[in-house]
Structure 1
Amino acid sequence: MPYGIDYCRNLLNTKSQRNRIRYQFYEMKNKAKDMTLVRNSQLDSIRSMLGWCPKAVDSLADRLIFKGWKNDHFNLEQIFQMNNSDIFFDSAIVSALITGCAFVYISLDDTDFPRLEVIDGCDATGIIDPVTNLLKEGYAILSRDKSGNTAKEAYFLPGSITINEKGKDSYTISNSVPYPLLVPIIYRPDAKRPLGHSRISRANMAIVDGAIRTVKRSEISAEFYSFPQKYVIGLSQDAERMDSWRAAISSFLQFDKDEDGDKPQLGQFTQQSMSPYTEQLRTFAALFAGENGLTLDDLGFVSDNPSSAEAIKASHETLRQTARKAQRTFGACFLNVGYLAACLRDDYPYQRRQFYLTKPMWEPIFEPDASTLTLIGDGAIKINQAIPGYFGRENLAELTGIEPGEVPTTGTGGEADE
């Protein structure tokens, strides 16, 4: 029995606010909460930002490059190519990494060909089937007005879509697809949270807030560092008071003796050091890098000695494992998109098990350099000597990410055939 559109609306309202906060961190629009000691109306105008959360998302998303399909018996490649596949895959992956789950709305265009639209987790939700990772029912906000209110919404059930548009009567579109035409794209799902986890975790947000406060304190201290505080002792009470700004920037100050022949004594407070803030910011960077499989070089703390390609790959081992996990999950989700789109295109309710031979293919997470290609070639030769034909054109292309060139055919005389 379906839960209904009202239940799905309330479910989206409970989740969308948290997702909007994550988008604020990704877009660097978040404002870190100041500690009580540094709260001041004159200091509120100082806004400090850090691009660490976008770095955590983009460093993983940029390495997830979808290549195509193996054993594509249902011609899924055509569906994705006709929907700007380069933009589609990147948009779905980035949105899923930010909110934990993005959604793909499948419909027919004017030529009755499947149309794929990515909807972020702030505007869509649903009841998921944990076995297939497809929805039992879904809800999505398709458009909003200038005030941000819902202008067009859709409620998805197997075989039908109900559209509610502001100022118009609702209508239902029927289809022969066995699942709702709203497909989740999930990052790191588990049994407790089948709709996944966000790359911008609570730990990441807390670390970034602490780092932003550190940057803000350093900017405040920089003012005192640039203009250290000075003092005068023994100045006569009858002396004319000097403007503080003129005293701070003047290159020459004159003080006369009083009638008793006494003269004032000048002094300067110890200048504040900026080193503690640099060390504290570096500590926050180390914590953030550890949470996301990055290095300090990725966050702007460049090391003196540049690393080789193998050293960079070794330092990003955690990121590589995370990318492998994401490839497996996203690959299954994109196959679900292709499966339902093929059902809609052919107007036939295919069974999901008919697509079990179709496998997603990805580009290598780290592009191999010349030395890596040499090692792969040497290893392939030795393995083929032990097991003839073990390495061929296809699996070497998957390993290196380089498509094989045309192999010239030769005649019996040793010359190339015309």
Structure 2
Amino acid sequence: MSSDPWGRVDETGTVYVRTADGEKEVGSWQAGSPAEALAYFERKYEGLVVEIGLLERRVQTTDLAPKEALAAIEHLRTSVTEAHAVGDLAALGVRLDALVALVDSRREERRVAKAKQSEEAKAAKEQLVAEAEQLAESEQWRTAGERLRALVDTWKGLPRLDRKADDELWHRFSHARSVFSKRRKAHFASLDAQREEARRAKEKLVTEAQALSDSTDWGPTAARYRELMTEWKAAGRAQREAEDDLWNRFRGAQDVFFAARSEAFAERDGEQRDNLAAKEQLVVEAEKLLPVTDLKAARAAFRTINERWEAIGHVPRDARPRIEGRMHTVERALADSEAAEWRRTNPEVRARAAGLTGQLQAAVDKLRDQVDAARSAGNTAKADKLAAELEGRQALLDQALKGLQEFGG
């Protein structure tokens, strides 16, 4: 018979393992010595030790799921319980119990971590929902749309919650995106309608602008083009492609008109500068008639000059006051000379002037006689008073005589 601390082989070849509950038969051995039999069953025990060690390392060093780990432990526990092996089987049970405790601890840690992760995910998703609901009312269509797409990507990267909580938050999140999408679609539909209305309005403006492009009614047409430009700005923008085409046509029509007007104005300005030079020559010729010495000849010469003046046409606007002012000066001088000649040769006026002169002469003679009489009488005060009156009447008489001389009298 052979034995060790954990087992023995009896004389019949039966092998026993010692346990806390007593000996347990694990097999029989007939092929060799009892020592070989114990060695054989001890190797089976070592195999269990190796399996338990490997499982311990898996549990301690890998992310083995608790359910899978417990299944492996129970499998090994059954193997230990039913083992045909010699060794400290109770120690193996203790190691398996410790491994169960470790798995339970890890499972609790995972539960706590998962709960924390779930709370964090819920808080993160609630923040995403709140931001999405705020963005749903935004009118920053491009920026808000890009941000909502980024929020979807963030949502996909977060862990799922329990079905009810996750579905409720997703419903709010999806609803916010839907609200924004509908508002954006309505906005751009309205914008398209406005742009189409602007396009139709600008088509009419282009048609009118093109119809006016060959007008030679420069002032009113230029004014209408300014009005068309104001209407163009008020019409709003059409679709980009249409807007560019309409603007090119509208601007092209204006360019045709204003280029023609500039050419016409340039030609007109050249003519007016030539007209100014001709009128300056006529003004010099007219100014040589002054001072008037022969009214009849001057009047005839001025009439000829004026006829040539009227035939010349317009001069530049800024030169008009100066050149016409010089011509009017000559014209006024001739008019003054004609008025003076008329007064001098008018018999009725001459007669009135002669009558007035006679009356003044009689008054002067009378006052002179009265002055002499007062002095002879020794009345000096009266003589002085009459002499002062005589001086005033004499001045009037001298003026009247001078006027009478103008009539050849």
TM-score, normalised by the number of residues in structure 2: 0.19
TM-score, normalised by the number of residues in structure 1: 0.18
Higher helix content, 1 or 2: 2
Higher strand content, 1 or 2: 1
Q: Which structure would you say has the larger RCO, counting Cα contacts within 8 Å and 6 or more residues apart? A: 1
Task: Please tell me whether Structure 1 or Structure 2 has the larger radius of gyration of its CA atoms.
Answer: 2
